[in-house]
Amino acid sequence: MVGTGGPVATFSVWDYVVFAGTILLAAGIGLFQAIRSRKETSSDEFLLGGRQMTAVPVAMSLTASFMSGITVIGTPTEAYRFGTAFWLFGFSYAIMSAITAEIFVPLFYRLGITSAYEYLEMRFSRPIRIIGTSMYIVQTVLYTGLAIYAPALALNQITGINLWGVLVATGAVCIVYCTLGGLKAVIWTDVIQMVIMLAGFVAVIARGAVLQGGLTKIWEDAGQGGRLEAFDFDPDPLKRHSFWTIIVGGSVMWVSIYSINQSQVQRFISCKTLRHAKMSLYVNMVGLCVTVSLAMFTGLTMYSIYKNCDPFTNGDISTYDQMLPYLVMDILADYPGIPGLFVAAAYSGTLSTVSSSINALVAVTVEDFILPVCKNLTEKQVSWMNMGLSVFFGALCIGMAGVASVMGDVLQAALSIFGMISGPLLGLYLLGMLFRTSNSIGGLVGMILGLVLTLWVGIGGQVYPPASEKTNPLQVSTAGCNSTLGQNYTTTAPWTSAVTLTSQADVRPPLADSWYSLSYVYLSLLGTLTTIVCGLLVSMITGGCKQEQRSPDLFVKMSDLICFSCCSKSEASDVTEKAAADFHLKADDSAFKDVDPMSKNVENSTKL
């Protein structure tokens, strides 16, 4: 009987057919794009789709890139265990979209860059660009490994799908269409995968509503279980989720994910006009809100079904990350093919994330490491290099999937990775864009201090998870289970998986319940503020940038804040073409000889 515990069914033949069909569809799109663009083999075409993409497909790709299999698996479980506070991230998405569209997009679009980290060399120095790119590569490989492994593990233990077989298949499919089709294949595949992800959520909600007697009943059960108390105005920074941590810390975290992350920047600068680039972010905001809303309501549906029999406490699953796959096999096994649709939804998220990461890693490696050194490569050689690097990074991400097995709660671990590394990087960008007195020494010292601080807190928080009074897991019950395994689990388990239950009784250092318990959402804010404050102080001590000439185009302008509707297509195209000619580092061999690589081109750009 549904919702009363015990083993669930495994995959049927039709489930395998639906799942395999989805993966083949993704590979087919990549092959189609490769055949369609077989005569357009330039690096610009491979990495940026020829800069001719439009707003809607780019917006759906932006949404799919970070609404990964981790989101499909982790967000409903978040609602089940902690309630709907995560829903408040919708406000953070709106703030992030406005800041990225009105401040970062005009600047990057004006400079005509391919790699987001080209800006760091233009504004500061080449060593800072190399460090920034290296930090991005490490972050992306770690995150992608987690994005591959976590859904695969959860689905393997519930559905019986072979773990490493699916891991390798996932990487292989992504490698195929990334290598052959480039960014266009990635974006159009993301569009299909986004639709499949949303369809998976809708299928679970619809079936749950039928079983429970309607959406109203699900909502009432959630309210009675304390799952609808989203607004907690406690200012305590140690509290995992509150109104302030999500709105303040969450906004900064998502700005760091979208505004300077190559996977996202590469998409909106591929748009054919500045208007389309800005619009893609606003449409993406709607997509993010719809996705998180469906994921949260899926979690409430899960609670309504298991309110009297928690599968984890009952011993039916080994970690909470298996909750949603367990639910799917429990309520949808009677409908052949539908569980396969859900697994396809989870893996669609994984495929979109992996393909986006591979394409972005190739872009920064070529633009930031190879082309500045090997300046005489032909277009054909660069194209072969792009494809070879796609295979290499795909294999590397699969290999890193094993590291993810020790990361605990997948949703929090994924966002923590971005907070620890993207926070200091965001601070460096803001230091350069907003403060004309900041120099290379200040930027470098500030970024290093910010990174050290966030790694200290973030890793400490992983080793010594916060106590339950800071994470506030909600009560669950096993009163309605058909049988229990006699395990003595608490109904208010800590935020990580079952293995953490024993660590709470161990001796904890003094910092464990203070410094290490800082909300993971604040990691990005901590890194950003540390980088800016320390960078400004060191810049002032070292004389600022009085001797360095910097183009006004390297800083935020008042004209950047004008809504996209005021910028005509012709103006945007002209600005991009002229800026690319003046600023792109490959255009002038002398750009790499001086500490200030753009000083010679800057004088020309100011005459535009």
Q: By C-alpha distance, which of 254, 150, 14, 22 is closest to 497?
A: 150
- Give yes or no for residue 590 having a pLDDT over 70: no
Q: Give Cβ neighbours of residue 473 (< 8 Å, ≥ 6 apart).
A: 81, 82, 492, 493, 494, 495
Q: Can you read off the two tokens belonging to residue 45?
A: 């075409």
Confidence category of residue 513, pLDDT binned at 50, 70, 90 = confident
Q: In terms of pLDDT, which residue wins out, 181 or 516?
A: 516
- Joined together, the tokens standing for residue 273 give 């006009």
Handedness of CA 463, 466, 468, 474 (dihedral sign): negative
| Distance in angstroms between the alpha carbons of the first and the last residue of the chain | 72
Residue 502 has pLDDT above 60, yes or no: no
Domain spans of the chain?
Answer: 13-588
Could you tell me the pLDDT band of residue 113, with boundaries at 50, 70 and 90?
confident
Question: Structure pTM?
Answer: 0.80
- How many CB atoms lie under 10 A from the CB of residue 337? 17
Report whether CATH 2.40.50.100 matches the domain 13-588.
no
What mean pLDDT is predicted for residues 556-569? 58
| Backbone phi, psi, residue 143, to 5° | -65, -40
Distance CA 279, CA 274 (A): 8
The pLDDT, as a whole number, for residue 381 is 83
pLDDT over 50 at 607, yes or no: no
List, for residues 336-365, the tens digit of each pLDDT value: 888 887 777 777 767 777 777 887 888 888
Tell me the pLDDT tens digit for each residue of 171-184: 777 777 676 666 77
Of the pLDDT bands very low, low, confident and very high (cuts 50, 70, 90), residue 490 is: very low
Query: How far is residue 75's CA from residue 412's CA, in Å, rounded to a whole number?
Result: 10
- The residue among 595, 502, 511, 606 whose CA lies nearest residue 552 is 606
Task: Identify whether the C-beta of residue 186 lies closer than 8 Å to the C-beta of residue 360.
Answer: no
Q: In the prediction, which pLDDT does 301 show?
A: 94
Question: For the chain, percent helix, then strand, then coil, each to nearest 5?
Answer: 75, 0, 25
Instruction: Tell me the per-residue pLDDT of 372-392, one tens digit each, with 9 for 90 and over.
Output: 888 787 878 887 888 888 888
DSSP tally for the chain: helices H, then strands E: 23, 0
pLDDT band at residue 500 under the 50/70/90 scheme: very low
The string of DSSP letters for 299-360 reads HHHHHHHHTT--TTTTTS-SSGGGHHHHHHHHHSTTSTTHHHHHHHHHHHHHHHHHHHHHHH
- Which residues lie closer than 8 Å to 365 by C-beta, 6 or more apart? 137, 389, 393
Strand partners, 53: 271
Residue 51 near residue 272 (C-beta atoms within 8 A): yes
Give the mean model confidence (pLDDT) for residues 22-42: 67
CA distances 359 to 182, 186, 261, 470, Å, are 7, 8, 12, 38
For residues 132 and 126, the answer to whether their CB atoms sit within 8 Å is: no
Q: How far apart are CA 456 and CA 127, in angstroms?
A: 24
Q: Do the beta carbons of residue 495 and residue 412 sit within 8 Å? A: yes
Amino acid type, 537: L
Phi (first) and psi of residue 138, to 5 degrees: -60, -50
**45: confidence class by pLDDT, cuts 50, 70, 90:** low
pLDDT at 347: 73
Q: What is the pLDDT of residue 243?
A: 92
DSSP string, 489-548: --SS--SS-GGGTTGGGS---GGGGTTTTS-GGGHHHHHHHHHHHHHHHHHHHTTTTTT-
Instruction: For 249-293, write each residue's pLDDT tens digit.
Output: 999 999 998 899 888 888 888 888 888 889 989 998 998 899 999
